[in-house]
Amino acid sequence: MTNHILQKIDAHIEQNRAYWQGQLARLCAQPSVSAQNWGIDECAQLVATMLREQGYTAEVLPSDGYPVVVGEGGAGEKTLLFYLHYDVQPPDPLDLWESDPFTLTERDGVLYARGVSDDKGHIICRLAALAAVKEAMGELPCRVKFIIEGEEEIGSPNMPAFVEQHQELLAADACIWEFGGVDYDGRPRQALGMRGICYVELSVQSLSRDAHSGLGGSIFPNAAWRLTWALSTLKDQYERILIPGFYENVLPPSPRDLELLSRLPEEVDELKEMYGVQEFLLGLEGGLPLQRTAVFEPTCTICGLTAGYQGVGSKTVLPARASAKVDFRLVPNQTPQEVLSKLRAHLDGLGFQDVQIQFLGGGRPAKVDPDDPFVQIANETAVDVYGRDPIIEPIIGGSGPNYPFIHTLGLPLVSAGVGYPGSNVHAPNENMTIENFLQGTKHTARIIERFGR
């Protein structure tokens, strides 16, 4: 019987592909650039309308930032939550797009538009999967809920508080995350955790205006030197972060984590070629040591530096102001708040009271038990769709608002979806292949069907 249902699900997804492509075109046509507050409210309303058209209740709720769309439908003892986001990255640089970023365009089996993968393609994928399951089974086998936010591309600053405040509304038994898909080789990926982040701007203002370097070089405090010295105390050349207590809450990977890492495909050559890496840090060459370091170590990354004259040639200026963007990636059980306070204490202790810290965003690290039954469902159904065992990543290097879902709501999360490494998310010509859309939707539908049993 299950086989029969799965056949009906797959047939429905394939037969309705043009319809969902039209819905995706409709959603992509509405700009929703959170970085610029461009079309946000309109897109939230459109998403609510589209949920209602599919038979779900939907509300646009306020948050301390942009509105959050919540909705639900179906019935049953168990509840499955879908976390998604309706905001997109800015389309710039526009001149690199081969077709209009807000007009869904099909070329050679690939659909192009801003958000077509991240994350409007996933919104449509979930709706298409649910419609197929409902059609094949007569009704949804479980209750489903949606939380579709509008600030994911700017770091989801209000998600933890929103989830905290709406725990009953969002109560569920499991959650399908906003992304998923395949690797370079077409293998499905299962990402079970994300590092946290603490993003700060460090700045120094040493004078009220720039001075001539011949005048002040010997006697005026130089903001660029103060910043350089302060930064150099944060991490040494062996990549050891020198802030006292920085590592005290770091949990090492479990034996199970290490086992999963050891099975990850080696992408050393791909990384070296794509980024022109001559040598990895710390002499790492590949294998488990590289995999472990890449995701289970916290980081301190200078993302940007700015001070004084930056043009062609020379200008003899002593900069009044200097600043750096610094991104700490955190692993369980570190928190952004502890990093902020330890960083401040560290700088003060070394006499860098003149270095200002501006907190630009953060989130806690979180990961799901790889042996959770819901994770098993996601993995087994992936084999059924893709014909291959998924790559299981116990944690990935990037960050996202998974902490409140895992820890506040207590949910296992899995990834499933339409992405692939060539999606160009956050870049011009963002795209999704129709093949990946069909596979990601079939996978999502299978998770729903199995979860509902």
- 136-175 positions binding a copy of itself, by CB under 8 A: 154-155
Touching a copy of itself, residues 362-381 (CB under 8 A): none
Q: For residue 291, what are its two tokens?
A: 């995999």
Question: Tell me, what DSSP letter sits at residue 171?
Answer: -
Gap between the Cα atoms of 153 and 60, Å rounded: 19
Q: Are 315 and 214 in contact (CB under 8 A)?
A: no
State phi, psi for 226 to the nearest 5 degrees: -55, -45
d(CA 300, CA 30): 37
- Toward a copy of itself, which CB reaches closer, 18 or 219? 219
**Which residues inside 8-47 make contact with a copy of itself, applying CB under 8 A?**
35
- By CB under 8 A, the residues from 300 to 359 that bind a copy of itself are 301-310, 313-320, 322, 324-325, 327, 329, 351
Q: Which stretch binds a copy of itself (CB under 8 A): 40-48, 112-120, 279-287, 430-438?
A: 279-287
Cα–Cα distance list, 244 to 250, 369, 450 (Å): 13, 30, 48
Pick the binder of a copy of itself from 12, 120, 126, 235 (CB under 8 A): 235
> What whole-number distance in Å separates Cα of residue 331 and Cα of residue 193?
10
Q: How far is the CB of 40 from a copy of itself (least distance, A)?
A: 16
Ranges within 57-96 binding a copy of itself (CB under 8 A): none
The nearer residue to a copy of itself, 319 or 370, going by C-beta atoms, is 319
> At closest approach, how far in Å is the CB of 214 from a copy of itself?
3
Stretch that binds a copy of itself, among 17-25, 235-243, 341-349, 445-453 (CB under 8 A): 235-243
Report 191-230 residues binding a copy of itself (CB under 8 A).
195, 197, 199, 201, 207-209, 211-222, 224-225, 227-229
Structure tokens at 221: 């405090």
Q: Which CB, 76 or 90, lies closer to a copy of itself? A: 90
Which residue lies nearer to a copy of itself by CB, 48 or 324?
324
Q: Which of 295, 330, 368, 409 binds a copy of itself (CB under 8 A)?
A: 295
d(CA 85, CA 152): 6
| Among residues 237, 269, 371, 453, the one that binds a copy of itself under rule CB under 8 A | 237
Among 45, 249, 299, 356, binds a copy of itself (CB under 8 A): 299
How far is residue 418's CA from residue 420's CA, in Å, rounded to a whole number? Answer: 7
Residue 28 CA to residue 43 CA, distance in Å, equals 9
Q: Does 278 bind a copy of itself (CB under 8 A)?
A: yes
Q: Which two tokens stand for residue 179?
A: 């992304």
Give the nearest distance from C-beta 329 to a copy of itself in angstroms: 5
8 A C-beta contact, residue 238 and residue 300:
no
HSE-up of residue 407 (Cα within 13 Å, Cβ side): 16
The two tokens of residue 215 are 């005048």
Q: How far is the CB of 241 from a copy of itself (least distance, A)?
A: 11
The least CB distance from residue 284 to a copy of itself, in Å, is 6
| Strand arrangement of the beta sheet that strand 57-61 belongs to | 57-61, 68-74, 143-149, 79-85, 174-176, 413-414
Number of residues lying near a copy of itself (CB under 8 A):
77
Say whether residue 274 binds a copy of itself (CB under 8 A).
yes
CB 139 within 8 A of CB 74: yes
